[in-house]
Structure 1
Amino acid sequence: MNGLLWSVSILCLTTLGMMFLLKKFNQPYLIAYIIVGIVLGPHISGVFTNPEQTETIGEIGILLLMFFLGMEINVPDNKSLLIKPVVAQLIKIILSIGCAFFVGYFAGLSLNSVVLIAILFVFNSTAVVSEFLNKHQILKTTFGIMVLNILIFQDLLLAPVLTLLKAWNKQEFHISNILFPVLLCGIIFFILKRIRNVQEIRLPEFFTSIEKDHDLQVFFGLFICLISGLVAEAAGMSSALGSFVAGVVVGRVKTFNWLEHSLVPFKVFFVTLFFVSIGLRLDIPYLFSNFSIILLGTFFVLLSNSVMSAVSFRLLKFGWKESWYGGALLSQTGEFGILALSLAYKSGLIEYSLYKSGLGITCMSLLLSTIWIAVLNSLMKRRLYKDNEL
């Protein structure tokens, strides 16, 4: 017990110190959490030695994060806000496959490695981007909804991608692996379509008693969030997507207005643990011994992802400013990339060196993505300022 308290106390103190430091430079706290994970990881201070356990607990934070996003977002009536994200992501997938084959051709990689690289390009970090949109008051704008819908569509793609990786390695495959996700996608689409014009969902009077009991509020809210994620996960989809849809429904129930106040502390703590676990995963000795490759790979991912996403936005008639901003937001490789890497390595699809390099590049892209967004945004503002002067 003393060891656990000591570890948690160090975690809180280190996180506080890093947050105060980044607050002075007006940087998002997500960077602080990842840096704390690096500092407290097995390769520096050794306070935490098992990243997998921390990540498992931290994934609850992602469920809560997506649950809150669902409560805050308005399901758009405009069909273009539902269709355009799908088109944008399909364009991005085509460009990602082309980019992956380009990399594989010059690096002499196998087909398995090329497929995995394409998958890494396809998925972005829902947690990083949504937190950034929320902090900068962009989430509820037309552009913010567009970006969020792209991320939700990526979550829908998780099930077929994981099925592809399993089938690729000739693991046992059943038609249910495809049917359940497709069925759940249909249910989700039906729910979103029916709920978009509903202002309020009324519940029986029994639920009004919960408004006066804080303990009931906390556990009832956690149950709704976690069980919806569990159902989605059982169907082979992203648990985060299930929590998001539950949040959309709950957001229409005025009886549950107290949920935001009851669950915010849980969200903050568990989201912190998730990003700390990303820092814990960084193999510092491997990072230093292959520093040039990983750093070059990270900047290539940030740049190529930004360009491919910007092209997707531009083809959908967005202006160059919004296109490049959207490209910067979708520049990193997401947390699902880590899942795909782990599955591919355990299945024997890729070698250990590619697994470690991919893990390092993914973690570094998450760490540097907010700085990359700020840099590209600043460059675009300078360019526009010069154009206006001319």
Structure 2
Amino acid sequence: MCLLILLLIVLLKKLNQPYLVAYVFAGIVLGPHITGIFSEPENISVLGDVGILLLMFFLGIEINIPGNRTLLLKSFTAQSVRTLLSIIFSVFLGKWLGWNTGYIFLLAVTFIFNSTAVVSEFLRKNHKLSTQIGKTVLNILLLQDLMLAPTLTFLQFLSKGEYDITKLLFSLIGCVLIFFLLRAIRNKNLVQLKFFKEIGTDHELQVFTAVAICLGFALITSFAGLTPAIGSFVAGVYIGRTSAFHWLENVLRPFKIFFVSLFFLSVGLMLDLHYIREHYPIIITLTFGILFINGLLSVIVFRLMKFSWRDSMYAGTLLSQTGEFGLLACSLAHQLNIIDYNFFKSSLAVIGLSLLLSSIWMTILKDIVYVKNLVNSD
């Protein structure tokens, strides 16, 4: 597995393509439809979920919480408008195709949610996390993480005609607590525990303490009905502002690379090549249709937010793909019998290809939109 990934990385590096593509291709080759080395993608996807937690943890360490309320308001407004436009477009298209509410809602989900893993890694690798457009896009992705809980709750409502008000209440409380924690960090009102000072020279204890905080926050947010990824991000923000852990990033980075690669490997494993070959006209059309329409909706939203054409097109490129939360929503919808098997397999294929192509798509369009360097907005 490692040798195959290494060979693909060397090849794609020469082609100036991101490593994420190598991981997905490796998953396709190692999957049940080519070599059959891995016949049960679910086993790898569990480890891949750990990669997402570590990815969000490191993102929290690296990101600067904006002290500008206007920037936060822009992100909230942008995601709200994107969500509204996505729902309107999905309703019109779904009604035209004669779909029921469940199918229309799943279509809207594919437009609303992007891949935090793909976009954040792309921003980090291109040193754009600290730019205004980078911060705005990242805030939008974090808002999407918070939206996952009510999305899954609505799917259960579509299936059973009822929903758990307690879970919804816990989700809202969790969102409020996260807001106040990030606000405290932004205003530098961070509580520094005495225990952290006492372990300042004990690196082994610091490593396990940081991992415990990361997984602990993820577990708490999961119990609250939110995604574990948002809890891991908050843990990273907290650790990144604690002086005793400043060296930790370099120590844990190899683990992050390994587990993130397993996540994208699991995406490749889930792609059913036989199904894609039999239905490739509709799947290819849907994949590029989502990339184009999602990107166009994002460009419109960012232009309405008074961003320049360049920044708007760049943001549209970043937010063009559908993400890993789409996989989760489609899997749950299939389990709840909201969608049939063919729609489920098509959704997996489209989302998987979207994740595979998005890195290449972003790399190519970035070079087209910006001749040299990203031009920052005021």
Query: What's the TM-score, normalizing by structure 2?
Result: 0.95
Q: Which moved more, 1:165-174 or 1:16-25?
A: 165-174
- Alpha-carbon contact 1:217-1:258 (below 8 Å) kept: no
SS of match in other structure, 1:212:
coil
Q: How much does 1:218 deviate?
A: 2.6
- For 1:195, the equivalent position in structure 2 comes to 185
1:75-97 deviation per Cα after TM superposition (whole angstroms, max 9, x unaligned)? 11110111111110111111111
How far residue 201 of structure 1 moved from its aligned partner, in angstroms, is 5.2
Residue 73, structure 1, aligned to residue 63, structure 2: yes
Are 1:242 and 2:231 matched, yes or no?
A: yes
Instruction: Determine if the alignment matches structure 1 residue 215 to structure 2 residue 185.
Output: no
Matching residue of 2:84: 94
2:48 to 58, 61, 67: 58
Residues of 1 paired with 2:94 and 2:55: CA distance? Answer: 36
- Show structure 1 runs of 5+ residues with no match: 1-10, 383-390
Q: Alignment partner for residue 371 of structure 1, among 339, 357, 360?
A: 360
1:292 is aligned to 2:281: yes
Deviations 1:147-195 (A, max 9, x none): 0000000000000000000111117632111110100111111111111
CA distance in 2: counterparts of 1:203 and 1:272, whole angstroms: 34
| SS of equivalent to 1:255 | helix
Alignment partner of 1:266 out of 255, 260, 271 = 255
Q: Which amino acid aligns with 1:216?
A: L
How many angstroms does 1:200 deviate by?
6.8
The answer to whether structure 1 residue 280 and structure 2 residue 269 are counterparts is: yes
Q: Identify which of 89, 108, 112 aligns with 2:102.
A: 112
The whole-number CA distance in structure 1 between the counterparts of 2:189 and 2:150 is 34
Residue 221 of structure 1 contacts residue 263 of structure 1 at CA under 8 Å; is this kept in 2? no
What aligned pairs does 1:5-24 form with structure 2 within 5 A after superposition? 11-24=1-14
Out of 305, 315, 320, the residue aligned to residue 331 of structure 1 is 320
Structure 2 gap segments, 5+ residues each = 372-378
Q: Secondary structure at the match of 2:160?
A: coil
Q: CA RMSD in A?
A: 1.5
Structure 1 counterpart of 2:295, from 306, 322, 336: 306
Aligned residue number for residue 255 of structure 1: 244
- Partner residue, 2:375: none
In structure 1, what is the equivalent of residue 122 of structure 2?
Answer: 132
> 1:361 aligns to what SS in structure 2?
helix
Question: 2-side partners of 1:175 and 1:58: how far apart?
Answer: 31
Q: Distance in 2 between matches of 1:57 and 1:152?
A: 22
Secondary structure of the residue aligned to 1:376 is: helix
Per-residue CA deviation, residues 252-285 of structure 1 (Å, 9 max, x unaligned), is 1001112212211111111010110000000010
Q: Is the 8 A contact 2:154 2:163 kept in 1?
A: no
State the secondary structure of the residue aligned to 2:338.
coil
Cα displacement string for residues 51-76 of structure 1 (whole angstroms, at most 9, x for unaligned residues): 11111111111111111111111111
Residues of 1 paired with 2:189 and 2:183: CA distance? 13
Per the alignment, do residues 114 and 217 of structure 1 end up closer, same or farther by CA in structure 2, a change over 3 Å counting? Answer: same
Aligned to 1:44: 34
- Between the aligned partners of 1:241 and 1:202, the Cα distance in structure 2 is 21
Q: Is 2:364 the partner of 1:353?
A: no
Query: Is the 1:201–1:252 Cα contact (8 Å) retained in structure 2?
Result: no
Contact 2:17 2:363 in 1 (8 A): no
Secondary structure of the residue aligned to 2:241 is coil
Aligned-residue offset at 1:108: 2.6
* Paired residue type of 1:181: S
Partner of 2:199: helix, strand, or coil? Answer: helix
Match of 2:374 in 1: none
In 2: Cα distance, 1:199 partner to 1:175 partner = 33
Indicate which of 317, 328, 331 corresponds to 2:306.
Answer: 317
Per-residue deviation, 1:336: 0.3
Aligned partners of 1:89, 1:128: CA distance in 2, in Å? Answer: 18
Q: What is the one-letter code of the residue matched to 2:22?
A: A
Give the aligned residue type for 2:227.
S
Q: Supply the distance in 2 between the matched residues of 1:161 and 1:261 (Cα, whole angstroms).
A: 36
Please say if residues 201 and 253 of structure 1, whose CA atoms lie closer than 8 Å, have aligned partners that are also in contact: no
What's the TM-score once normalised by structure 1's chain length?
Answer: 0.92
Quickly say closer, same or farther: Cα 1:84–1:166, change in 2 above 3 A. same
The DSSP-based 3-state class of the residue aligned with 2:360 is helix
Deviates more, 1:92-101 or 1:338-347: 92-101
User: What is the distance in 2 between the residues matched to 1:376 and 1:207?
Assistant: 45
* SS in structure 1 at match of 2:187: coil
Alpha-carbon spacing, 1:323–1:33, altered in 2? closer, same or farther (3 Å):
same
Contact 1:22 1:29 in 2 (8 A): yes
1:109 CA drift (Å): 2.1
